[in-house]
Amino acid sequence: MAAVAPPSDRRRDAGPAVLSAHPSLVGRDAELAVLQRFLVDAAPGGVLLTGPLGVGRTRLLREAVRLARDLGRRTVLVTGTGPDVPLGPLAHVVPPVPGEADRFVLLQHALAALRGDRDRPVIAVDDAHRLDDLTCSVLEQLLLAGDATVVATERSDHARVDRLRTLGDDVRPLAIRPLADADTDRLLHGMLGGDVEARTAQRLRELAQGTPLFLREIVRAGHETGRLTRDSGPWRWDGPMEPPPRLGSFVLAGLGADERAVLEQLVAGVPGAGYGGAGELVRRELIRIDRAGRAEVPPFVAAVVAGADRAEPEVPAARAPGDRPDPVAAAIAANRDLDHAGAERIARHALADDRDGAAHLELIEALRWQDRGAELPPLLDAAARRVRTGDGPARLALTRALLARRAGEPALAAAEAALAGAGRAAPASPAAPEGLAVAADPGGSRDSPAAVTAVLEAAARLDGVALARTVRPSTGPHSRTAAGPAPGDNGPDGRPEAVPGDDPGAGGSAARREPPPAGQDLPGGRWAALAAAARAGRLAAAGRPAEALATVAGVRSDPDTGDRAEPALTRLLLVDAELSALRVAGRPEELERAAEDAHRHNLAAPGWAGDAWIAWHRGRAALVRGDLDAAGRHLAEARAGTSDRDPMGLAADCTATLALVLVLTGERDRARELLDGLPEGAPPAATAAVVRARTWLQAADTSGAAPVRALLAEARSAASRGDLVTEVVLLHDVARLGRPDRVVDRLAAVAARCRSPLLQLFAAHATAAARAGTAAGARLDRVAADLAVAGARLDAADVAAAAAAAHHRAGERRRSASSAARATELAGTCGARTPALDRLVRPRLTTREREIAEIAAEGASNAEVARRLVLSVRTVETHLAHAYAKLGIGGRAGLPTALPAPDRPG
């Protein structure tokens, strides 16, 4: 995986590929196969490559010329130059005729020059629609006589080569279509020589519409103007995206005034725009007519006509009672549609007349999602003076919670303090809204208790407080946010678990409540979705994935989504809950589908701060299933996004998780650079990621001898929040780093409380690894196989390596080799290096065994190996049998993956 630059290292280094005159040919395998068959057959006739402007006809023609030359065919390259010069395109191959000659003489002279004495030539004609009549006659005569093979290109909106088309079977048309999205992405990657941010790739796809020329020119213009830059790994486009003027002029060249007027009216959406002149526009594919007779303008053409959308949108005409424009309603709608910049502009218009604080609340939400926290304090104070009733105080408390998380402070404590200062008493627990009271607000909205409950649920989720721990009543800014462990619970190292801050004299004892059923206590009304989304995430963190997924499904099945409070945060917490639950449940295929669905759904909205959140979750999902390349790409994109906007305080978690991926792929120096650049302090929920990355880096630096004290301490912290999933992951890291004895009892106890087969497999690994005896290796083999089925390939590789070591200690050489081969195979699919894999006992083959195994791994039979090495077949069979036994495989099919890396062919 390529190294990732820090966010501050923005550069306009597009590399040579984007400026190349011969871009990569992608997405044309079917067309190339047709051309290759045609040229190999060497039959007379022609192929006419047709397609709209910029689709790649010329690039495909060049490839046909290369194929013909590789086959030893004589090639003649011809380019249409216009109708005014007879035989102008053939001037470089047809000698001039002395004196004046009539048309017939010129024709005979050209035919003689092209036929020659050699085999039938391949004549490649670019822009055949621009050929003069005499050159068309030459090609026609050559085709009719079978004296040439012709491959020509023609724009589908021109009809200059009808004479070639009328030759029937002698000339076959081959339509060149726009590229599919996946091929466009491949071409874009090749142009830039690196990954492209998902949002940028989507915008380029939509604008270029699968046309390679358009894509290349837009990318070139973005590079030249500095809008397309490389920031922390992926390429990103900042600002409006529009076609360059040189390409726009080319697209619209030759249009008359009437055609331009029709096109401009269609782009502007003028009702009842006439279709006069539309025939030419349709022929040139500048507009399309659907089955209902409606004209559609392709996005690229619309962008050429309209230019960039620079105008600020007008305040939408939302109406309030009395039929007056209602900018607050318009701002609410813009925030709901994730158009936070638009919501800001609209809300600012209404601040002067804002008596109830509604405009301030919408402006605060818009600025919050744009990560402009420095502008919020005066607005929060002004809103607090205006907002006295309803759910306004709860919205302000949620903003303060998010600002606290952004600053690396507990979100829940900030929310409780804000609610207490506003005269709201926090509920006894988000699990007990019936105990909630709304103080100093006798005329408040009925939504106030629901809003307070939802805000506390969301803040608890942001802090990583799981449902296994309940939130205490608010007693001020220094109130406790989580109850302690149940009596008798022991910490990760077997000692009684202590929660930081437990002090009998500081207020209350550490008592634990049993969490209630998943949704029976959640509020209704417009805050219900946020509360349920946060609750689902807390259920997932508590190791209850089935209940979490059921809660998510309940929210999504609710058809009433128009009046949801905090729609953006609800959206992100739903994604968080679903993907977290699927990870914990060990359902890799569903996890991958859900992550991609969330990504596609997010791209349907305008670019916003949630892009980084989605990319972060995609990276974490890829890491769980062991796809380290994808994990690195997505996490680098997420980290780049947080460098611009990070209202959720994700930067530390993104950086640390990316550093962990880099450690696992062997890029320790880059990982160290990222970790050293982290600022002091991180949100509580991100600390585990930082500790994991630092510990794994130490383990890689010291060949697995890293101290695990930090992992144990962070596991105790996760336990104090009730975050059982994070606790189990941290404890399993201790086992993977070679110290299962330190965590075996606690890991088994915590995993037993979770309803997650995956976490229980982690505990089974520690239990099997901590036990001595001949059966340990077999137990570890079973756990490794189950982890692989659950999609946790990297964990499975480490457990298989532990099984190999256990078999080796027991003297089971063949089983040890088999487990080592399995570990190597799994690690190879992940591209990973871990201390357990580095400690694998590698099988040692003799020089002759290695030589024979390498040849057999290439697919040679025993007889072929014997012939090449001048040995008997029996000797080859004996050496292979010894190699199979040492490598722990059953036959030659296992050789390519079982051979140790220095011995593996290629």
Taking each helix axis from N to C end, the angle separating 212-225 and 245-252, rounded to the nearest 10 degrees, works out to: 150
Contact 735, 704 (CB under 8 A): no
Read off the amino acid at residue 653: D
Q: Return the pLDDT at 271.
A: 59
Query: Is beta strand 149-155 parallel, antiparallel or unpaired with respect to 45-51?
Result: parallel
Distance CA 304, CA 282 (A): 16
Question: Strand, helix or coil at 27?
Answer: coil
Q: Return the pLDDT at 170.
A: 72
pLDDT band at 277 (very low <50, low <70, confident <90, very high): low
Question: Strand, helix or coil at 562?
Answer: coil
For CA atoms 344, 345, 347, 352, give the dihedral sign: positive
- N-term to C-term CA, the chain: 20
Residues 110 and 161 in one domain: yes
Distance CA 65, CA 62 (A): 5
Does residue 428 fall inside a structural domain? no
**CATH number for the domain harbouring residue 69:** 3.40.50.300
How many helices (H) does the chain have, and how many strands (E)? 40, 11
Q: What is the 3-state secondary structure (H, E, C) of 782-794?
A: HHHHHHHHCCCHH
Residues 51 and 157 in one domain: yes
Residues 153 and 37 in one domain: yes
Distance CA 28, CA 174 (A): 12
Per-residue pLDDT, averaged over 412-441, amounts to: 57
What is 432-461 written as a DSSP string? -GGG-B-TT-TT--THHHHHHHHHHHHHHH
Per-residue pLDDT at 266 exceeds 50: yes
Neighbours of 707 (CB within 10 A): 13
Among 407, 434, 469, the domain-final residue is 407
What tokens were used for 35? Answer: 């051309």
Q: Return the pLDDT at 269.
A: 72
Model pLDDT for residues 373-419, shown as the tens digit of each residue: 999 999 999 999 888 667 888 999 999 999 998 888 889 889 888 88
Does residue 401 fall inside a structural domain? yes
From 64, 84, 86, 85, select the one nearest 76 (Cα to Cα): 64
Model pLDDT for residues 82-138, shown as the tens digit of each residue: 777 788 888 888 888 776 777 888 888 888 888 866 678 889 998 887 888 888 888
Distance CA 301, CA 320 (A): 38
For CA atoms 279, 285, 290, 295, give the dihedral sign: negative
Instruction: Tell me the percentage of the chain whose pLDDT exceeds 70.
Output: 80
Q: Return the pLDDT at 523.
A: 67
Read off the amino acid at residue 505: G
pLDDT band at 434 (very low <50, low <70, confident <90, very high): very low
Neighbours of 774 (CB within 10 A): 13
User: What's the domain range around 361?
Assistant: 326-407
Does residue 264 fall inside a structural domain? yes
Neighbours of 74 (CB within 10 A): 15
Q: Return the pLDDT at 725.
A: 93
Distance CA 258, CA 278 (A): 9
**CATH number for the domain harbouring residue 889:** 1.10.10.10
Residues 99 and 202 in one domain: no
Among 242, 263, 278, the domain-final residue is 242
Q: Return the pLDDT at 900.
A: 60
Does residue 863 fall inside a structural domain? yes
Question: Strand, helix or coil at 108?
Answer: helix
Per-residue pLDDT at 890 exceeds 60: yes
Residues 148 and 210 in one domain: no
CB under 8 Å to 751, separation ≥6 — which residues? 543, 728, 759, 760, 762, 763
Q: How far is CA 387 from the centre of its chain?
A: 40
Beta bridge partners of 230: 11, 235
The Cβ-side half-sphere exposure at 812, using a 13 Å CA radius, reads 18
Residues 42 and 63 in one domain: yes
Does residue 531 fall inside a structural domain? no
Model pLDDT for residues 832-867, shown as the tens digit of each residue: 888 888 777 666 778 888 888 888 888 888 999 888
Instruction: Tell me the percentage of the chain whose pLDDT exceeds 90.
Output: 30
Q: Return the pLDDT at 301.
A: 79
pLDDT band at 574 (very low <50, low <70, confident <90, very high): very high
Residues 165 and 69 in one domain: yes
Residues 372 and 359 in one domain: yes
What tokens were used for 383? Answer: 């809103």
Distance CA 588, CA 584 (A): 10
Per-residue pLDDT, averaged over 323-327, amounts to: 60
Query: Is beta strand 228-230 parallel, antiparallel or unpaired with respect to 235-237?
Result: antiparallel
Q: Return the pLDDT at 319.
A: 44
Poorest-pLDDT segment among 171-185, 224-238, 829-843: 829-843
Model pLDDT for residues 508-533, shown as the tens digit of each residue: 333 334 444 455 566 678 898 999 99
Per-residue pLDDT at 283 exceeds 60: yes
Distance CA 250, CA 356 (A): 55
Kind and range of the H or E element at 887?
helix 873-887
pTM exceeds 0.95 for this model: no
From 793, 841, 835, select the one nearest 818 (Cα to Cα): 841
Kind and range of the H or E element at 77?
strand 75-79
Residues 58 and 170 in one domain: yes
Poorest-pLDDT segment among 54-68, 152-166, 667-681: 152-166
CB under 8 Å to 725, separation ≥6 — which residues? 466, 540, 541, 542, 543, 580, 584, 754, 756, 759
Model pLDDT for residues 699-743, shown as the tens digit of each residue: 988 865 668 999 999 999 999 988 999 999 999 999 999 899 999
Does residue 93 fall inside a structural domain? yes
Residues 107 and 71 in one domain: yes
- Of the two residues 560 and 810, the one the predictor is more confident about is 810
Residue with the two structure tokens 């994730």:
338
Model pLDDT for residues 293-313, shown as the tens digit of each residue: 777 777 777 777 766 333 344
The number of domains in the chain is 5
What is 815-855 written as a DSSP string? HHHHHHHHHHHHHHHHT---HHHHT-------HHHHHHHHH
Contact 702, 683 (CB under 8 A): no
Per-residue pLDDT, averaged over 635-652, amounts to: 90
Residues 194 and 233 in one domain: yes
Neighbours of 172 (CB within 10 A): 13
Distance CA 50, CA 157 (A): 9
Per-residue pLDDT at 670 exceeds 70: yes
Residues 34 and 149 in one domain: yes
Q: Return the pLDDT at 21.
A: 47
From 800, 802, 807, select the one nearest 828 (Cα to Cα): 800
Q: Return the pLDDT at 134.
A: 87
- The rounded mean pLDDT for the chain is 80
Does residue 799 fall inside a structural domain? no
Does residue 656 fall inside a structural domain? no
From 812, 736, 828, select the one nearest 775 (Cα to Cα): 812
Residue 240: which region, alpha, beta or left (left: phi > 0; alpha: psi -120 to 50)?
beta
Poorest-pLDDT segment among 549-563, 722-736, 790-804: 549-563
Residue with the two structure tokens 């939130």:
471
Among 175, 191, 220, the domain-final residue is 175
